[in-house]
């Protein structure tokens, strides 16, 4: 059996979270416009902030019209809610465990900020202990779909003697497309097809490349990999 490095997205791939993204939650609470909401979201995902005070101070520079005590209060509220909202998708731990038992390496490539990662560690303690590589946007200072995160992941795998790499995630734009561009194999978990309709049309029309595989849910990944001789 060949050995490989399997990289996973976190949100909506291994775990679920709040109904809305943290930038949307904070944007709604502070009545931000779309440009402000996007700027706040980028900051959340790319600033290495391990406490709400640090990120509040940075956001104050982006949002000078927001009263600082209000900003700090809402950031703190969303921060703690993000830790508490994380729920593991039931098949996640058995899948990661099975990959490790088969001799593969496992990694994470995720657009994420610190509180959601803390929630992931709490909800998925065994997975966190098993993974070999972590490429997290808030630690790297760059978000997917930047190829930089994927190049770093490839380099880490190759230093472990692994030339075959897979990216497994729920977003074509953020997970599949950049992984393919750097030479990774890709498995698309199409768990929210309503969000991917334009991309699906582009694939069907031959305008963009299809992933190496596509499954509807995380529970189907194990069977896909077994059929192709990876497990």
Burial label for 9, CB within 10 Å (0-12, 13-18, 19+), is: buried
**What is the chain's pLDDT, residue by residue, as a tens digit (231 residues)?**
789 999 999 999 999 999 999 999 999 999 999 999 999 999 999 999 999 999 999 999 999 999 999 999 999 999 999 999 999 999 999 999 999 999 999 999 999 999 999 999 999 999 999 999 999 999 999 999 999 999 999 999 999 999 999 999 999 999 999 999 999 999 999 999 999 999 999 999 999 999 999 999 999 999 999 999 999
Q: E strand or H helix at 135, and its extent?
A: strand 133-136
Phi and psi at residue 208, in whole multiples of 5°?
Answer: -135, 155
For the chain, the domains span 5-17+87-227, 22-84
- Taking a C-beta distance cutoff of 8 angstroms, is the pair 114, 149 a contact? no
What is this structure's pTM? 0.97
CB proximity list for 202: less than 8 A, separation 6 or greater:
208
Half-sphere exposure of 214 (CA within 13 A, CB side): 13
What fold characterizes domain 5-17+87-227?
Rossmann fold (3.40.50)
- Give CA–CA dist 120/56, Å, rounded: 22
């Amino acid at each position: 059996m060949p050995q490989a490095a399997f990289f996973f997205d976190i949100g909506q791939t291994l775990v679920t979270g709040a109904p809305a993204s943290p930038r949307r939650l904070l944007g709604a609470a502070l009545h931000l416009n779309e440009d402000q909401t996007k700027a706040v979201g980028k900051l959340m995902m790319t600033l290495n902030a391990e406490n709400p005070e640090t990120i509040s101070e940075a956001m104050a520079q982006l949002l000078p019209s927001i009263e600082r005590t209000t900003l700090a209060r809402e950031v703190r509220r969303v921060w703690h809610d993000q830790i508490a909202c994380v729920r593991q998708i039931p098949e996640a731990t058995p899948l990661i465990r099975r990959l490790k038992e088969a001799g593969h390496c496992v990694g994470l490539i995720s657009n994420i900020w610190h509180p959601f990662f803390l929630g992931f560690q709490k909800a998925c303690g065994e997975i966190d202990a098993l993974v070999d590589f972590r490429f997290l946007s808030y630690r790297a200072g760059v978000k997917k779909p930047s190829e930089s995160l994927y190049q770093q992941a490839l380099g880490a795998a190759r230093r472990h003697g692994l030339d075959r790499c897979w990216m497994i995630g729920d977003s074509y734009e953020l997970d599949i497309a950049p992984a393919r561009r750097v030479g990774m194999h890709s498995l698309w978990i199409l768990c929210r097809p309503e969000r991917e309709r334009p991309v699906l049309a582009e694939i069907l029309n031959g305008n963009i490349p299809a992933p190496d595989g596509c499954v509807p849910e995380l529970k189907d990944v194990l069977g896909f990999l077994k059929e192709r001789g990876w497990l």
